[in-house]
Structure 1
């Protein structure tokens, strides 16, 4: 189970900024204002990890012809096809 967010008041962060930036290197720090967490301080390493997970969605009509053709004609490698049986719902467990 994930550890609960380490939440502190904005006033505490302002008074002990160095401490909380060090703490954010170890775990996310939720910064609260009027009892509500409004922002979370995380390490640069964690931020960069999350940014790498970002995805961009585009419409198929925005694709160039070459990319669209590649998507329409792609086939799974034999090694992947050989695993299809793992998805069979034969009712035997």
Structure 2
């Protein structure tokens, strides 16, 4: 039993030591009437030090894990933006 517990602790510590970095990124807000959509030119801001479009983020080693479109307001002039979740292993 002691060896099983020790092995489990070692496996968990190896996974924690290899943990990567992840960020939630946001594009600029667009008016829905003039909505351009997602493209290679859409720029995302991911915290203070990570910024770029999808090809730039990929060339920096970021893996795109999730893409969602968010509605910011539904009033007289509705707005929307894209959100990415990126991570590095």
The answer to whether TM tops 0.5 is no
Higher strand proportion (structure 1 or 2) = 2
Q: Shorter-normalised TM-score: what interval?
A: under 0.3
TM value normalised by structure 2: 0.24
TM value normalised by structure 1: 0.24
Higher helix proportion (structure 1 or 2) = 1
